[in-house]
Structure 1
């Protein structure tokens, strides 16, 4: 196992929308709390941690110190759990409160961030060890319907994680968010269970705004775009967690506590942002056949694909994917542009353009379309 210090980013400011990158303080868990564990990956999906952090700050009655604690092993999580005593449920409780706050503010992006966070992998004591699921019921049925990803080297991980992504996609669709974003909650390629260093195939870069799993192209898709489209067929905004009943079922995550896991501290978490391989680049947008309601004119990495409006039950179309409401379609269009921009930046084909600038452009794109 490898010993490292876990860094937690705590953002200042109470904002309802998923925040653009802001200055953050750095909090380090005392070294005495750290023991052998899988290499940290708490910052692999920083984008979603930032969104949950901002919305949790709006009302945090339990005094949870930071969302990153929910992704750690129980021993380290205790230091940031506030009044939460069931540490196996700190992850769910954090997502639940952030979702409640975002819902009260009418913030779809904030609700989506909470759902994505709920699906992130928790750290365990070693490569191949699955995490224990929370045994409490969430306040919000949307959060209750989503489980955390499991270590990709653990038993039946492929089928379990696929079912988790499809269930997450259904919940995203039910609140009016883009269900294809569920793929971004995924984790890394499986590591070797014989790896005594605990390194696996993870990353953990605290100041990577998007999340290193995206910027380093380490994300492994759990499902295809077509499978997600099929899973959310017939789901409209407002159907909420009832959609979960249609999700494929997978072997349940462990409900017993592993001694090695309990002694391990921080847990790697998968926290995200790179477009799934099946997502077309912004420059590959199909020619619109209706009115284009995408008004954003930013073009780092190429313009956002058109959002065409027509008649029908799912009247908005982006690159062949249809949506019930305009907000989800705009979000999808802006996300495709962001992913194309980030890919070009990482490839060095956009001179002087950073991934952070791509993210700022996506925020501006969503704002131009009235998406929080």
Structure 2
């Protein structure tokens, strides 16, 4: 049976999401498979009482409704990814660790097209998560170079835990929107009912790098202690 606190939080979140908050086109469900995996990992142990990982991909006004005990909303995405990674590592779940890494690198909604999201200044517990930041709006300044660097770093971290570094490309975002489009409509999608992720099924993802660039970035990277720990857990 749901607690009164959880019911209140869910009700508040619905109201906040329904309110006319000015923000970029909704896209928090675009990478739904990643979100689903991180939700499962986070739910194994959720000390901050975060309502759902999806809140970490919203702008501050909406994110606050589901942030639980996290007060620095710029760091909510990192906190979710960090805890999900910790839980997946303890469970020996390499796929869970990989998806937590990808989640950390996903673009977060902002107040308008072309506006970059605020970076977290806190340090994550897991070095693999701490090495990452989120993708930025593709219409923001230097977004292509910024997002490419994030994808290549993500590939290295995925390789370090024994995952497929090419999965880093799944963190990519959409084609740039028009800065003069006041409707907020652009090249995004947002479908919570598409379990495969609408950015993938609708072929909207713009790759940040080539497969060869990913391979070059991870050359010499070997699986770290995190992968070894996960392997020993499942042995």
Q: Structure 2-normalised TM-score?
A: 0.89
User: Aligned to 1:41, what secondary structure does the other structure show?
Assistant: coil
Summarize deviations over 1:238-292 as a string: whole Å, max 9, x none.
166xxxxxxxxxxxxxxxxxxxxxxxxxxxxxxxxxxxxxxxxxxxxxxxxxxxx
1:28 deviation in Å?
6.0
**Contact preservation (8 Å) 2:13, 2:66:** no
Q: Which has the larger radius of gyration?
A: 1
Separation (CA, whole Å) in 1 of partners of 2:204 and 2:55? 23
Give matches, 1:14-93, under 5 Å: 29-31=14-16, 33-93=19-79
1:218 aligns with 2:204: yes
> Is the counterpart of residue 175 in structure 1 residue 164 in structure 2?
no
Moved more, 199-208 or 50-59: 199-208
Please give the per-residue CA displacement for 1:300-351, whole angstroms capped at 9, x wherever unaligned.
Answer: xxxxxxxxxxxxxxxxxxxxxxxxxxx9xxxxxxxxxxxxxxxxxxxxxxxx
Q: Is the 8 A contact 1:34 1:76 kept in 2?
A: no
Deviation, structure 1 residue 29: 2.0
Distance 1:82 1:27 in 2: 12
Partner of residue 244, structure 1: none
**CA positional deviation for 1:33:** 4.5
Q: Note if contact 1:162-1:223 (Cα within 8 Å) is conserved in structure 2.
A: yes
Aligned to 2:125: 139
Higher relative contact order (CA 8 A, sep 6+): 2
Contact 2:13/2:62 (<8 A) preserved? no
Higher helix fraction: Structure 1 or Structure 2?
2
Number of matched residues? 218
Q: Displacement, 1:187?
A: 0.2
Q: Give the CA RMSD over aligned residues.
A: 1.9
Gaps of 5+ in 1: 1-24, 241-326, 328-370
Q: How does 1:153-172 map to 2 (within 5 A)?
A: 153-172=139-158
- Find the aligned partners of 1:186 and 1:27 in 2 and give their Cα distance: 30
Q: Is the 8 A contact 1:33 1:75 kept in 2?
A: no
